[in-house]
Amino acid sequence: MGVQARRIAWERDRANRQAEVAKREADFVTNMFNVSDPSEARGNSITAREILDKASKDINTSLTKDPELHAQMMYVMGVVYDKLGLYPRAHLLQQQSMEIRQRVLGPEHPETLESGNSLAVLLEHEGHYAEAEKLERETLNIQRRVLGPEHPETLMSMNNLAAILGSEGSYAEAEKLDRQTIDIRRRVLGPEHLDTLSSMNGLAALLSGEGRYAEAEKFDRQALDIQRRTVGPESPDTLRSMRNLGSDLWGEGHYAEAEKLDRETLDIKRRILGPEHPDTLKSMRMLADVLYRERHFAEAEKLDRETIDLQKRVLGSEHPDTLNSMNDLAAVLSGEGHYTEAEKLDRETLDIKRRILGPDHPDTLESMTNLAEALINRREYAEAETVLKHARDIQRRAVGPESPDYAISTYNLACIAAHSGESDKALSLLREAVDHGLPTSGDLAIDKDPDLKTLHGNPRFATLVTHAKERAAAAQAPN
């Protein structure tokens, strides 16, 4: 057989194979929805979740003779389970899909890399950050070599790796990667492409985490305006921007505006995603935090407790989101004067975070700061000072002396000094906190903080309060 004849035969076989795969895909999908047939449903209403669950059980019996198609359908269903917030089931499907693809297609095939990327995202959703980072880096390195540095799948992995690094508290590396991804996506995909906007959201979340709220707000508002126009007000992408913008407004001290936006976002998520979806639970936590800042303690406590109960059932008692909600509840309890209960909850949360996230993770350090605040409220100043000094040493090394977390620890040390009658030390620490990273909300609350009551009447304190409020006003002024 000549070269041309062999090529024609190869093309014919390939076309036949594609037609066969397409038919088997269609047959499988059709069978998925047979469960919604009245004769199958027997009068019961059938949900999309039930259809998906039935298909995921059938897949290991109906497609095992075709491993490529088997892996493809497992991957697709894993993506859907992930979007539903059903992470354990999604993880199992994506893990199996990747293992089949590695065996049948090889470790560098685009579909194998696709599975690696999705599994890394799931690991991040489940709070397994180190494992997620390792897999995403491996996937990205191969994609850059096999697909090229500007391929959409390569850019997706860059975007996801930046998110994972942000979750680990590696803000500088994450920000650099996000900015690089945005630049390429704007050039390759366009400024209004959903992937470009996703990178903008990711960068904004990082900036907000670093306390750079005004800068984050610009990115979130820009992305939100485009998303509302292009994909609609109830798209998951739009809702993500709304949630991020609410966080920015909270950080800038615009509590009333943040509360309004958070309530709107939560209402839509409950209706669109469901009351137990992890993204819905994040919005519940954010709203509760705003209510706490507005001193609506009873409503905040009720919402925090509801959120924690759902998170423990949906995500687990040691998931980072659950632990952060526990910290928030402890802060509310302190606000209500339940200092002993708050301290107990802070200690419990801190112990778990040290074990799960490590002693240097920003969330762990935040829990140390929260515990110190609870100890201050209980007038356990010596232990509170020891905890804060330890936290500040780690924060200086891990996130730098200009970070909001470091500034909050410094501020709390000032409160201890004020309680101890060390006015000069307290004022020096306060000035350091105000000038080096204290969130705007902290600037606005200095003169109202009962822990600084001993400084009232001190001319230097009055000058510092004026300076802090001027700084806050400048940060909040429109550019």
Asked if the structure places residue 194 within a domain, the reply is yes
One domain, residues 148 and 196: no
CA angle 29, 33, 38 (to 5 degrees): 160
Enter the tokens of residue 301.
Answer: 């406590």
Q: Is the dihedral of CA 294, 300, 301, 307 positive or negative?
A: negative
Q: Return the SS3 of 360.
A: coil
CB–CB of 158/140 below 8 Å? yes
Query: CA separation (Å) from 73 to 76, 209, 370, 442?
Result: 5, 37, 46, 51
pLDDT score at 26? 43
One domain, residues 229 and 136: no
d(CA 288, CA 307): 9
Q: Return the SS3 of 45.
A: coil
One domain, residues 160 and 204: no
Asked if the structure places residue 116 within a domain, the reply is yes
The parts of the chain modelled with pLDDT lower than 70 are 1-49, 51-52, 55-64, 441-443, 476-479
Determine which helix (DSSP H) or strand (DSSP E) holds 413, and give its type and residue range. helix 404-419
Structural domain containing residue 76:
21-168
Asked if the structure places residue 311 within a domain, the reply is no
Structurally, the chain folds into a number of domains equal to 2
Considering the entire predicted model, what is its pTM?
A: 0.81
pLDDT score at 353? 95
Q: What is the CATH number of the domain that holds 180?
A: 1.25.40.10
CB–CB of 376/451 below 8 Å? yes
One domain, residues 95 and 234: no
CB–CB of 355/345 below 8 Å? no
CB–CB of 252/213 below 8 Å? yes
d(CA 323, CA 328): 9
One domain, residues 195 and 127: no
- Cα atoms in the Cβ-side hemisphere of radius 13 Å centred on 62: 17
One domain, residues 66 and 28: yes
pLDDT score at 48? 61
pLDDT score at 28? 46
Residue 358 burial (C-beta neighbours within 10 Å; 0-12, 13-18, 19+): middle
Domain stop point among 237, 258, 279? 258
Tokens 């199996």 locate to 96
Domain stop point among 218, 239, 258? 258
Enter the tokens of residue 236.
Answer: 């998951």
DSSP states of 111-175: HHHHHHHHHHHHHHHTT-HHHHHHHHHHHHHHHHHHT-TTSHHHHHHHHHHHHHHHHHT-HHHHH
pLDDT score at 479? 53
One domain, residues 25 and 154: yes
Asked if the structure places residue 12 within a domain, the reply is no
One domain, residues 120 and 103: yes
Count of residues for the chain?
479
Enter the tokens of residue 138.
Answer: 């491996």
CB–CB of 74/97 below 8 Å? yes
Asked if the structure places residue 360 within a domain, the reply is no
User: What is the chain's percent helix, strand, coil content, to nearest 5?
Assistant: 80, 0, 20
Asked if the structure places residue 137 within a domain, the reply is yes
One domain, residues 158 and 224: no
One domain, residues 150 and 178: no
Asked if the structure places residue 427 within a domain, the reply is no
One domain, residues 160 and 229: no
Asked if the structure places residue 42 within a domain, the reply is yes
CB–CB of 455/427 below 8 Å? yes
CB–CB of 359/394 below 8 Å? yes
One domain, residues 132 and 176: no
Condensed to tens digits (0 to 9), the pLDDT of residues 46-93 reads 366 676 677 666 666 656 677 888 888 888 888 888 888 889 989 999
Domain stop point among 258, 278, 301? 258
Q: How far is CA 394 from the centre of its chain?
A: 23
